[in-house]
Structure 1
Amino acid sequence: MTTHHSSAKASEADGLKTLSPALQAELKALEADFTVDGPKLKHISQRFEEELREGLEKNGCNIPMNVTWTLGFPTGDETGEFLAMDLGGTNLRVCWIELKGRDGETVVTQEKYPLAPQIKTGDADALWSLLAESLEHFIDANHLRREDGEALPLGFTFSYPATQEYVDHGVLQTWTKGFDIKGVEGEDAAAQLTEAMKKRNLPVRLVALINDTTGAMIASAYNDPETIIGAIFGTGCNAAYMEHVKAIPKLKTDLPGDTPMAINCEYGAFDNAHRVLPRTKFDERIDRDSPRPGEQSFEKMSAGLYLGELYRLIMCELHDKSLVFKGQNITALRKPYILDTAFLSALEDDTFRTVRTWFEAKLNLCLNEEEFHLSRRLSEMIALRGARLCICGVAAICRMKGIQSGHVAADGSVANKHPQFKARWAQAMGEILDWPSDRKEDPIVITSAEDGSGVGAAVIAAMTLKRVEEGNMAGIRQPR
């Protein structure tokens, strides 16, 4: 395995030597811009820790550190049947989930409903009507109405920054993921959904509103007690972890200080002031052309949505300097966001023949060997920087909490589909946390997150109902 990898590296280095002097000079400058060394990583992570602490102390900070009212990790004994609904970036997913405890097998029945583009830029009524209608369709198709008319408990995954005063409440702070629906920002999404369900007379009670990152952590901990953090490395980037109530100065509560509370960091907006992140002109361009310039700075440098876009912008610039795709029409390549993380992974891992076919099919471009070697190096350089930056937030949480070992349950396309991501992530983690170079194994490892938006929502709903049963109503609204 090692031999194959090193020989591939050697042939890659030989390929780069064949680049024209002009391209070699461009590549050298780009490599300098995109390299984030160990000391720089530590510096970023230290600043990250400062911003995490600021978010725990007061509201209105870069990183909001949203309290979730999910109190503690699951025991693994949670059981029952629950509806779960996840409002994602492209689909609405509705599930019926049967929890049978850590030793049993969780059963998930689900249906996806596409979100039409006009919904994402429409108004609140259209959004919540669609959700209630889809929920009704799912309940009827799966014969879930109870004979006694008892309400079905629902865990609603709303993966947008929300302020929660209760576990079944969430005021949307700002839309992300390209959504811009009027009449929801500054409003309680849980109340708006409840109202839409009432209009259709649905036998459903919203028990908990959760974020997918918190859900990933809780669903993973349900099956794996070594889970310490839930993280998303996909279209966006985020993490959730457990914090003691006494370490959250902004939270006014009568709960004992050692009560664990899940915190949804929402740290895509880290360093919006651009104090430490090593932004290139391409990062600045992505920010400038985005729907919300000046927001989500960290996310725009490290998340999957933007990695292919960085490569595209670099190649367009090199074409404009007459260094690549000479004499070819690059109209398709000029289209923003035409390339995703899967394309970048293929560039790094596939053969010249396969990649050339991809370029012809997707971009109508004829790729020569020089452009292939250049593209492979660029994709590696962009993905490597993304992975190394991604780790800064998780490392900052570990340092702040004194976490020495455990599992980081990671979800998202970059974590699970980019073949080199986990190795690069671990390498950077070791550099920041000073792990010994001769270690036999990593003390903190990435695991694949369980289904946070489905199973996680159901487990949190089960935990919440258990608290109601025990008379612990902290962070739970009285039934309306």
Structure 2
Amino acid sequence: MSELASAQSASNESPPPDDLEGELDAFIQPLLIDDNVVHNLAYQFSKVYEELAIRSDEQFLPTPVTKLPTGQETGQFLAIDVGGTNLRVAFIELLGDAEELLPTANGVERSRETIRNAQRPRVRRTLEKAWPIGEHLKMDKTEDLFAWIGDCIAEVVSDRLTSDNDKTPVPEELAMGITFSFPMIQTELSSATLMPMGKGFTISSDLDLGSTLLQGYIRHTRRQSPTSSSPKAKRRKLGPLPRLKVTAITNDTIATLASLAYSVKSLPNSRVVAGIVVGTGVNATIPMKFSSLGEAKVESIRKNKPDATETVVNTEVTIAGACGPLQSMTTEWDRQLDKNCARPGFQPLEYMTGGRYIGELVRLIFFDYMTRAHKPPVPAASLPATIVHSYSFTTTFVSAVVARARSDSELAGELKRRIPPPESSNWGWTPHSAGALRKIAHLVQVRSAGLIAASTVGLLATVGEIALSEPGSPASLPDGMVLTDSKPSSPKSILSSLQRDTRDGLSPAPGSSAWKSGPEELVIAYTGGIIQHYPNFKEQTQRFIDRLVMRAGVQDGGKSVFLREARDGGIIGAGVLAGMETMERNSS
């Protein structure tokens, strides 16, 4: 069944007249995406990524993270997660393997213990607080934004000190891990320089993130006197609060990868191989060998870590340089959104998939349909203001209301209450108009899931984790379809070609010999509001990934690719990386 057909079957209402339904189907045709399109995109992405890894100064950026956590890291660390919409601060306690159950000789009991160990919590969060980052803060001067962040950090640190009833001595310095959801350049884990960014922030590039954050907090390390203008200071320990030491800085995708690699004790034949964030913004990270990256890119990391051969790469795959393959499926609505956003042409993939833009894209398409293609056309002045004005129709509303409606009639009633037309309008929500909005939202979501799947599988193919057949080749066709004058490759030849690409390093693949102990599961750590909370988004992405991998035939080691949630990966990963760096420094 096509995605359009599945969208139609989502409604249990009587269909609108055939002519209305036909005009809607024709109108939204450019949004359709299928397995062939996704496969072609994934293959093209993989080739583009190979080039960018060698040549780009803005994408596939090496980071100082040259290994994943061992699971032995322990201790308590202050963690900060600065996202596109929220700030979170917490203390992260790494529990390590202290309570790990020892294996027994009995095979059945050993299997049970393996499962229990995998399910045992390995991280404890305490005193966590979150704050929305208001639009005014995003537009403020850099020092004002970071002064506010410093105040929020001070609030949690103060709570930590008073929660022990002053029985615990005040430490002179707290080790801290920081996650910034922005592109950055790093030569060492404890410092980072901001690159040009989007997400509605006006922070200047070339900013030293660590020192700027410390500057926003430093006034809290000096003794303060309560004043009438600072009511919070009266409720908090007035200070001086302990100093902070920036131990690790990373972005949200790398934090997500580190979080799941530490928090989930992998079952046999299971490896965490990449991380993706699909929320307000979109990004991905994956380990890559130095040999796959430009020499100039890895020079500074080689100096600091001469024994390293691989690095976790910040891909920034949504930036324009990686998005050439999208041109063939970019619609007029995509171009309109791009043209009117804060940074036209900067992040084409994010404009098609990110939470900041999905609601606006749905609004643009629905507005265009109602005012131009619908018969009779509806004047813009007759439509609800939420449908007329840019960025009034949020992705949160689409996810919580439109995507969860059980029928067109139910949605029409909900829309009448929530976003009614002007009182002067003679137009009103009907099952057909609500159904059109619902169908548009569904197809935008399916397309977004397909693009995320294509980008993710393209990355895995780039580093040799999986094989991805060339579109149109016999191996890429559905069962029973073989191109004229072509012979299907034998399983033996497929395995032989795959073995040449087997990788090792941060998380070594066991190779084809792994068949003896069962097929291998490659885990993609994911987090972000869209992939976690938008109805069926994760499931749709997983289906696209499954079909992409199956198209290539037998994978080395019987590999499959599985999305696994790294809940709160941004803030947990900041603590994990701080623990890794502290452990490494203490052992050196």
Give the TM-score range, shorter chain.
0.7 to 0.9
TM-score (norm 2): 0.72
Match of 1:177 in 2: 199
Counterpart residue type for residue 159 of structure 1: S
Q: Which moved more, 1:171-180 or 1:429-438?
A: 429-438
Compute the displacement of 1:468 (Å): 1.3
* Maintained 8 Å contact 1:51/1:270: no
1:23–1:323 Cα contact (<8 Å) kept = no
Over the matched positions of the two proteins, sequence identity in percent amounts to 22
2:179 pairs, out of 157, 182, 185, with 157
Q: Which residue of the partner structure matches residue 348 of structure 2?
A: 297
Any conservation in 1 of the 2:84–2:281 contact (CA below 8 Å)?
no
How far 1:127 sits from its partner (Å)?
1.9
| 410-419 or 344-353, larger mean C-alpha shift | 344-353
Whether the 8 Å CA contact 1:325–1:367 is kept in 2: the answer is: no
1:271: how far off?
Answer: 5.0
CA contact (8 A) 2:273 2:522 kept: yes
Q: Which residue of 1 aligns with 2:314?
A: 264
The Cα shift of 1:124 comes to: 1.9
**Is the Cα contact below 8 Å between 1:272 and 1:296 reproduced in 2?**
no
Which range moved further: 430-439 or 402-411?
430-439
> Is contact 1:72–1:259 with CA below 8 Å preserved after alignment?
no
Confirm or deny that 1:91 pairs with 2:147: no
* Match status 1:357 vs 2:413: yes
CA positional deviation for 1:38: 2.7
Distance 2:309 2:149 in 1: 34
What is the identity, as a one-letter code, of the residue corresponding to 1:469? Answer: N
TM-fit CA distance, 1:276: 3.7
Contact 1:309 1:337 in 2 (8 A): yes
1:276–1:313 CA distance, 2 compared to 1 (3 A) = closer
Q: Which amino acid aligns with 2:413?
A: T
SS at match of 2:65: strand
| Counterpart position of 1:382 | 444
Tell me: CA distance 1:126–1:258, structure 2 relative to 1, closer, same or farther (3 Å): closer
- The DSSP-based 3-state class of the residue aligned with 2:161 is coil
- Partner SS, residue 434 of structure 1: helix
Equivalent position SS for 2:344: coil
Deviates more, 1:157-166 or 1:354-363: 354-363
1:214 matches 2:254: yes
C-alpha change, 1:141 and 1:348, in structure 2 (3 Å) is closer
Task: Describe the superposition over 1:329-381 as per-residue Cα deviations: whole angstroms up to 9, x where unpaired.
Answer: 43231122223334334434423344123312332143212223322322221
Question: Secondary structure of 1:267's partner?
Answer: coil
Secondary structure in structure 2 of the residue aligned to 1:371: helix
Q: Give per-residue Cα distances to partners, 1:202-261, cap 9 Å, x unaligned.
A: 421010111111111111111223322111112221111222233322211144576332
Deviations 1:273-295 (A, max 9, x none): 64543110000000001000011
Q: Does 1:118 align with 2:118?
A: no
Number of aligned positions between the proteins: 459
**2:371–2:378: 8 Å Cα contact kept in structure 1?**
no
Q: CA deviation at 1:8?
A: 9.6
Is the Cα contact below 8 Å between 2:63 and 2:188 reproduced in 1? yes
The separation in 2 between residues aligned to 1:127 and 1:460, in whole angstroms, is 25
Matched, 1:453 2:508: no
Q: Which has the larger radius of gyration?
A: 2
Q: Deviations over 1:287-344 (max 9, x none)?
A: 0010000110111112232222222112211222354785744323112222333433
**3-state secondary structure, aligned to 1:294:** coil
Residue 308 of structure 1: which of 342, 359, 364 is its match?
359
Pairing partner for 1:45 from 34, 42, 46: 42
Task: Give unpaired runs (5+ residues) of structure 2.
Answer: 98-119, 222-241, 422-427, 467-520
Counterparts of 1:343-422 in structure 2 under 5 Å? Answer: 343-345=397-399, 346-351=401-406, 352-365=408-421, 366-404=428-466, 405-422=521-538
Q: Secondary structure at the match of 2:28?
A: helix
Q: Of the candidates 436, 444, 462, which is equivalent to residue 561 of structure 2?
A: 444
Give the one of 55, 65, 74 matched to 1:70.
65
Q: Distance in 2 between matches of 1:342 and 1:91?
A: 14
Instruction: Using structure 1 for the length normalisation, give the TM-score.
Output: 0.87
